[in-house]
Amino acid sequence: MHKPSAWVTATARAAHQLYDTPLILNDPLALRILGAEREAELRADAQRQQHPLAAAMRATMAVRARLAEDSAEGAPQYVILGAGLDTYAYRQPSLSMDSRLRGNDGVGVARIYEVDLPAMLQWKRGCLRDAGIAEPAHVSYVAVDFSGDALMDELQHEGFDAAQPACFSWLGVSMYLKPDDVMRTLGDIANCAPGSSIVFDYCVHRKHLGDDERAGLDFVAASLAAQGEYLHSSFEPQLLEHMLRHHGFHRIEHFGPEELAALYGPRLSGIFRLIRATV
């Protein structure tokens, strides 16, 4: 069974293709991977999609995915942690084994690893089959539970080259984990080859939020709890940077509402923020 949050994320990315102009994330497979029935429902949902909350959700999902994909261009390895129904790997041109998968700038990545819970990967691959989307030879599927499994061991078992730099994307996951599990995963990535990086989002500690943002966080938490999912971690931005540097990351870039608006246009809430950290 898939997690509701993964389905919500995939639906928001798909709705972005239908209801937003200009596109922040151009994803021609976002609708297709949902399946014909869900796509038809989404196309018929124009009135609800005009609600400001729906538009904000679409913008958030599109912006965070765009930052991760932009950061991955040129990396020899791209690891998508908590892959869900992400379609990056399937939007790349079909190239020979000795070629690099090209991104928007023609550089791209050579090898992609999709990491998620075993049941999530099984669900995702079923969605791919149902949609007639082929699994490229350059993609490996790695089953990992972030609350207990050894991430790097599982990656290397599937061919990950620890001697080569890698870009990691970790979106919509950290807030569902306990802080120790978040730090352990970040510590594992900090031990990768120099030049490796991670883009991830996190929930900002309440004391750093305004009144409206705190109310928004309470609404999000209650909505998730009603679906059986819970927020387990939040961080103070500067303390999080300190912990990242302690683990061995040397370049830390914060992306709050102002930075993301300058890059991609929409002004997002400050409840969830993004960081790009480089080893």
**Three-state SS at 79:** strand
Averaged pLDDT, 167-192? 95
Identity (one letter) of the amino acid at 57? M
Extract the tokens encoding 237.
């931005």
Any idea what DSSP says for residue 109? B
254, β-bridge pairs: 275
Averaged pLDDT, 18-37? 96
Of the pLDDT bands very low, low, confident and very high (cuts 50, 70, 90), residue 148 is confident
Extract the tokens encoding 42.
């989404």
Flag whether pLDDT at 96 surpasses 70. no
Tell me how far CA of residue 134 lies from CA of 13, 51, 149, in angstroms: 20, 35, 28
Q: How many domains does the chain fold into?
A: 1
What pTM value is reported for the model? 0.90
Cα 160 from Cα 163, distance rounded (Å): 9
149-153, 261-265, 266-270: range with highest mean pLDDT:
261-265
**Three-state SS at 278:** strand
pLDDT at 2: 53
Write the CATH number for 76: 3.40.50.150
Burial class (CB in 10 A: 0-12, 13-18, 19+), 241: middle
Flag whether pLDDT at 7 surpasses 50. yes
C-alpha closest to that of 114 among 152, 72, 142, 148: 142
Extract the tokens encoding 178.
């306990």
pLDDT at 109: 60
Extract the tokens encoding 206.
């309440």
Burial class (CB in 10 A: 0-12, 13-18, 19+), 97: exposed
pLDDT at 229: 86
Identity (one letter) of the amino acid at 176? Y
Identity (one letter) of the amino acid at 81? L
CA end-to-end span of the chain: 35
Q: Which domain holds residue 129?
A: 4-278
pLDDT in tens, 230-250: 999 999 999 999 999 999 999
